[in-house]
Chains A and B, each alone.
Chain A
Amino acid sequence: MSDLFRTIRRNAPRYVPLLLMLAIFVLLISGCTTDTPQNTFAPEGEVARKQRDLFYLAMWPAIGVMILVLGGIVLMCLRFRERDPNSRPPKQIEGNTRLELTWTIAPAILLLIVGVPMVAMIWDLGRSPDANAYVIDVDAQRYSFSFSYPDIKDPSGQPLFLPAEPHIPTGRQVAFRLHSADVIHSFWIPRLGGKLDVVPNEDNVLWLVADKPDTFHGECAEYCGLDHATMKMIVHADSPEDFQKWVDEQQAQLNATPKPTPVRSATPAATPSPVAASASPAPTPTATPQATGG
């Protein structure tokens, strides 16, 4: 017993990284529960929740394997260290085919098993949005997201345009149709779901669901130039009733004061002009959506 104790004390430095990692893991677990604005462990919608669950499904076995392998390495280092520098070399073992086949085939089978729910979820989340999904057009330009509502039109037929801070209804799919006016961006609201790139000439559609009324933070996740870091957005999720109220207000406003020509047309992807965009940095509408507050 005291021998073991001595071994541990003598080899204490070797445990340092292990202990360090354990400490960090404890913090990691504590990190899972924090309520920070973009925490992917704190989902508030169907898509984000499924993605987090799949992540856990892979993360816990991975942590298990990690502890086994790292622990195994540390134990082997302790057990098989050379005690006498003049000792003869140990038995020369060239390998063991059966053992090696096992650790080739077993991980392959395990990984393929994990692959089944993964593929299922790719198809589940990759399906087209429901017919009753609420559609919002997202225009990404350096360095802001702006939003158009095809269901809310002014008397001349132009959709409602918001330079920032869109509202979405809870409890139903919201289909974001993504259009880029210049380079590739990525549309990401972490607590509602994973990201989808906004690619010029490719109008990707991302659907998300918000469970309950809240304010969500999102940002551009694909490097897009100088101020990529501040290309952020805030999304307000309202209960269906509140959302309807908001829609009615917007509609009334549009009907009362028909705006002069809106900044962006309904089909903005039709005329992206990189040359124009390069001359002046992004046509910034009235308000800058630099949501830095919490």
Chain B
Amino acid sequence: MATIAAPRTSPLAESLRNARQAAEHNPILSWFATVDHKRIGVLYGVSAFIFFCIGGCEALLMRAQLAGPNANVLTNDEFNRLFTMHGTTMVFLVVMPLSNAFFNLMVPLMIGSRDVAFPRLNAFSYWTFIAGALFLNASFFTRNIFSGDLGAPDGGWFGYAPLNLRAYTPGHGMDFWMLGIQILGIASLAGGFNFIVTILNMRAPGMTLFRMPVFIWMTLVTSFLIIFAMPVIAVALFELTFDRLFGANFFNPAAGANPLLWQHMFWLFGHPEVYILILPAFGIVSEILPVFARKPLFGYPFVVFSGIAIGFMSWGVWVHHMYTTGLGTVANSAFGISTILIAVPTGVKIFNWMGTLWGGSIRFKAPMMFAIGTVAMFTIGGLSGVLHSMVPSDYQQQDTYFVVAHFHYVLFGGAIFALFAGIYYWFPKFTGKFLNERLGHINFWLMLIGFNLTFFPMHISGLLGMPRRIYTYPSDYGWNLWNLLSSIGAFTIALSVLIFIINFLWSIRKGKPASADPWDGRTLEWTIPSPPPHYNFAEIPIVHSRDDFWHRKYQEDAQGNVVPVLAGAAHAPTLSGGDGHGADHDDHGGHGIHLPSPSFMPLIAALGFPFIATGLIYDYALVPVGVTLLVVGFYGWALEPAAEEEA
């Protein structure tokens, strides 16, 4: 026990410390108090995947309804609530947190750090996310879900004014929506600031900005987008909250408001948001392609700068969501041109990825299959995006299934495929086991076929004049076949996800064991054992070049051939375990490494948000309860010691 620094400890502080220490060793409680970036990453990933399944089931219900004309699987009301929740779930509860899972898992490992800059803020970010996510989904139960009366929001994930006002969406669904997203925004902001500080301040010595892995660059750009974009939607949501709860008139046309204000704010957030969803995927692909092509990323500076360019340009294209609102010829021309131009940096990435494959020695492992799939599918989505940028022809496509096809090629074919690639790629690092390769390939091909079967026909149904967000359609509009194909495809995707789940659960127990460096990797995470020790790096590595680990393993001989570095030769010892077998021979076992101790305070603080939000909707008496939790959480957080001396 701490004998020197333990004068006057109050009984409360004493019992809190006992609780923390008990939690540290309890297999379940420790997850609620953890501040370890790896465990928070796992929490983020598992939660996001569960919501992926929920959002997917919502999609399957809608596809069942739309499989044929005049179907009666869902009512109009149910359909509207399901598409609202599907969009909201997939954006805020799946792709963002799944990307966040990878930020958490990978950023410290790839920059050679022992944790993120603010471990407890990181835990707070997760618990706030889960609070917001559960709150949002609780809306289903505000009516009797067992009798089929879904209570979920019904204003669309975009929540356009004035449909989002109480006059038009009278239930509590949209209240849950606006407050839920507000809470999720707080979680995103906490994560965004955390990763910016982590990346800028905690890189291993020698890792200059231009020696960072591309995934770290994309995380950095994404985090900046998050901290600038989330406040915009926060303002819009606060205004909406005042409109809905306190009778303000920000968006009420009857009081003279211009309802387009909402669209401007929503899409000024919404378009950077699109890149928040896709840039992490670009980062993952940029890590995987070089490893399995066994070549460095082609044109690293171009890939990095195009990512930064996309980050800046994403702020100047939001009106392409509003071409048909009648903003006029000048606005439409300007934003048409800017939208066309944002295709340039995106195209640069695709060409550079192809350059990476060229001349490579490609190993078709499951992560590589998904990564190549991402490049191919994103290409299609990018090209249909260029078609959308053509303003006058977009007057025909706006709000049709052509748009649905486009953004699913970008967000499913791009983001989700890349996130699966990331799971297959980094699974061995965190479990010490491989995901089954054969099931991985079946998973990939089924998903690729199901995906194209679902979303390619949507291009056609859209061009045949089928609008989005309709719960039924007549039989003689020529849409039947295309919708049937889409529905068959959707269930094929579901089957592939089922295979993934089986693979995951099986492999986590009986998977083939993986070494520290199973893929012949290039970046720092492969220098430490799999799974990594809780302190990550026994010794903080010193970085000498981009793809540092690769250069410790290989060098060029006089003829320019790539040959392995002989064990013990060259400058291997600078890394702990430069031979790829990690720090296990370095057996101080982490003693003397101070890591932040577990804390319940982030969880307590985050619990305050759903109380406040529920109180705003139902009974103001709950608001002080929530505020108290927040204050207690933050106060305890500030006062408890960041790291405890070991008992």
Binding site for B on A (CB under 8 A): 13, 16-17, 20-21, 24, 27-28, 31, 34, 36-41, 48, 50-52, 54-55, 57-59, 62-63, 65-66, 69-70, 72-73, 76-77, 80-82, 85, 87-97, 99-100, 103-104, 107-108, 111-112, 114-115, 118-119, 121-123, 125-126, 142, 180, 182-184, 186, 188, 190-191, 193-197, 199-202, 204, 217, 219-230, 272-275, 277-278, 292-294
Contacts and interface: CB of A to CB of B under 8 A. Distances in A.
B162 interface: yes
A70 B448 CA distance: 14
Interface stretch (B35-43, B312-320, B335-343, B623-631): B335-343
Given A119-B333, A201-B259, A294-B474, A275 B254 contact: yes
B394 interface: yes
A54 B390 contact: yes
Contacts of A222: 160, 399
B363 to A, nearest CB: 5
Interface stretch (B23-31, B293-301, B602-610): B293-301
B540 interface: no
Interface string B357-397: 11111111000000010011001100110110111111111
5 contacts: A39-B464, A51-B392, A104-B344, A118-B390, A122-B336
B303 to A, nearest CB: 9
Given A122-B336, A201-B259, A225-B80, 13 more contacts: A31-B464, A52-B393, A54-B390, A80-B362, A82-B362, A90-B360, A92-B556, A180-B253, A184-B161, A186-B324, A188-B467, A197-B324, A272-B253
B386 A58 contact: yes
A197 to B, nearest CB: 5
Contacts of B80: 223, 225-226, 228
A156 to B, nearest CB: 28
Q: Which 8 A-B residue pairs are closest in the complex by CB-CB distance?
A: A194-B395, A38-B465, A36-B478, A229-B470, A200-B253, A95-B299, A294-B476, A55-B393
Nearest to A70: B376
Interface in B597-625: none
Contact of A17 (B258, B351, B384, B452): B452
A57 B561 CA distance: 47
B332 interface: yes
B63 interface: no
A223 B396 contact: no
Interface in B253-295: 253-254, 256-260, 293-295
Contact of A229 (B296, B347, B471): B471
Contacts of A217: 465, 477
Contacts of A66: 379-380, 383
B460 interface: yes
B465 A17 contact: no
A276 to B, nearest CB: 9
A188 B166 CA distance: 27
B341 A77 contact: no
A72 B472 contact: no
B478 to A, nearest CB: 3
Contacts of A195: 324, 395-396, 398-399
Contact of B329 (A40, A123, A221, A273): A123
Contacts of B328: 126
B465 A37 contact: yes
Contacts of A111: 340-341, 343-344, 386
B350 A69 contact: yes
Contact of A41 (B77, B154, B383, B463): B463
A118 B347 contact: no
B472 to A, nearest CB: 5
B348 A104 contact: yes
Contacts of B76: 226-227, 229
